[in-house]
């Protein structure tokens, strides 16, 4: 009987290693079809899950409360499982090189609890070669077993989009790969239990690793192009959003817009490609240039804000700036690699400490990790300038009446500066009201 059949029959378990924005939805989905162990090294996170609290807000408290996933921070329980899915983050170091310590650490944990006949599948984004050149040797060393003979390995890149309630795990095609044909078929069958959109088999692990890095690098480059246009159009006094609206009337327009590019995927994955390419003697030109542009956009927005303050006759240093949004994307509590922080950092160079509002984050966590104080919308007042940085639903619904209560009461309408990074407001409407308005 195959491992897939044993999983279906409840004779063997699936283990998820890493219960964040990616691992948790996978664990919950598989728990509807099989026995699942959910492991994370964070006892605090496991405590939340056991109490029916979903800190990621990806699946919701009610689902967490009712799922059959066995949550644990005891790695020895991984011995009970035969199919392991590693879904830990793969960040970058301060010098933009890959930080593989989380995936290496996860490999050590899985390795020392690995049993014969197991399959280990990595979902963490890496550059081509990491699974076979780094992860498998760790698994073999820790377990004393031999890959291909005693256990199998595969790679299936995560494609979950945090905060996206439309493109979910189940309806996104899953790329799968394995060390050999037997592993590939077994892995494909297991994922087909929960992936309604089906799986796409590729011939080898490196191809699957490359596909993940490339799909995010492609998006990064396209956004970089729009960001470069925005910076140039700003000098030409041309409204970039109006140009995009006109361009998008053509059938083959790609629909990209300028903006902050952060998060744990698009703002990081291209560096994995750049790193490996340079190790092989090739200096990336297009991808590296795109990264340079996108990493500079926060500073550009901060400088544009300062310019608007000066044009309004205000002393920037004495002005109160309120930033609406801190997370890397809308309707999501994830602040990892948020480029809103770049705006804050740049403003602090002008000795300005902006006020931050974000209903999606835990203020205590943000204070501890980033030393940023977060207040509520109702506490916001006496602003000279408001920056709409993240398109949370709460900010989209803000009425002009509510916005006006957030500015200083003695400010004339033309002195009220509104910086709209996400293009949430209608330009004609804003101009008719008389605000000093700038958008990316």
Asked about 332 being catalytic, the answer comes back as: no
161-199 CB burial, b ≥16 within 10 A, e <16: bbbeeeebbeebebbbbbbeeebbebbbbbbeebbeeeb
DSSP of 15-66: EEE--STTHHHHHHHHHTTSEEEEE-S-HHHHHHHHTT--TT-SS-HHHHHH
Q: How far is CA 131 from the centre of its chain?
A: 21
Q: For 67, list phi and psi in degrees, rounded to 5.
A: -70, 155
Query: How far is 228 from 158, CA to CA, in rounded Å?
Result: 29
Please tell me which residue in 135, 265, 332, 385 is annotated as part of the active site.
Answer: 265
Alpha helices in 248-355 (DSSP H): 269-279, 286-311, 340-349
Q: How far is CA 378 from the centre of its chain?
A: 28
Q: Which two tokens stand for residue 385?
A: 């300038």
Catalytic residues: 265
């Amino acid at each position: 009987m195959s491992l897939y059949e044993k999983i279906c029959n409840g004779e063997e378990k699936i283990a998820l290693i890493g219960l964040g924005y990616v691992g948790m939805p996978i664990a919950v989905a598989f728990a509807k079809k099989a026995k699942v162990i959910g492991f994370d090294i964070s006892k605090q996170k496991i405590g939340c899950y056991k109490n029916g609290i979903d800190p990621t807000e990806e699946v919701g408290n009610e689902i967490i409360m009712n799922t059959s996933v066995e949550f644990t921070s005891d790695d020895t329980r991984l011995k009970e499982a035969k199919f392991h899915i590693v879904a830990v983050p793969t960040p970058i170091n301060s010098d933009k090189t890959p930080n593989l310590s989380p995936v290496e650490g996860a490999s050590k944990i899985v390795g020392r609890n690995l049993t014969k006949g197991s399959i280990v599948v990595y979902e963490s984004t890496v550059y081509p070669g990491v699974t076979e050149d780094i992860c498998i040797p760790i698994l073999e060393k820790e377990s004393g077993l031999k890959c291909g003979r005693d256990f199998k390995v595969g790679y299936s890149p995560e494609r979950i989009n945090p905060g996206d309630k439309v493109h979910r795990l189940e309806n996104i095609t899953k790329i799968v790969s394995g060390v050999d044909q037997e592993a590939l078929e077994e892995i494909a069958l297991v994922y087909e239990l929960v992936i309604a959109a089906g799986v796409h088999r590729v011939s080898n692990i490196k191809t699957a690793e490359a596909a993940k890095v490339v799909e995010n690098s492609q998006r990064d480059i396209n956004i970089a192009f729009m960001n470069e246009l925005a910076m140039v159009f700003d000098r030409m006094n041309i409204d970039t959003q109006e140009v995009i609206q006109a361009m998008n009337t053509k059938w083959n327009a790609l629909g990209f817009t300028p903006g902050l590019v952060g998060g744990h995927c698009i703002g990081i994955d291209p560096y994995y490609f750049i790193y490996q390419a340079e190790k092989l003697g090739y200096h990336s030109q297009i991808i590296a240039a795109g990264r340079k542009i996108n990493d500079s956009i926060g500073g550009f927005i901060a400088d544009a804000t300062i310019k608007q303050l000066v044009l309004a006759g205000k002393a920037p240093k004495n002005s109160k700036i309120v930033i609406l949004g801190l997370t890397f994307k809308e309707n999501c509590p994830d602040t990892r690699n948020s480029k809103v922080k770049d705006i804050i950092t740049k403003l602090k160079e002008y000795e300005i400490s902006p006020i931050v509002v974000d209903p999606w984050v835990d203020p205590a966590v943000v204070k501890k990790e980033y030393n940023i104080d977060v207040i509520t919308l109702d506490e916001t007042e006496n602003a000279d300038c408001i920056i709409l940085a993240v398109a949370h639903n709460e900010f989209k619904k803000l009425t002009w009446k509510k916005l006006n209560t957030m500015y200083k009461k003695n400010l004339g309408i033309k002195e009220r500066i509104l910086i709209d990074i996400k293009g949430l407001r209608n330009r004609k409407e804003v101009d008719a009201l008389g605000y000093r308005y700038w958008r990316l």
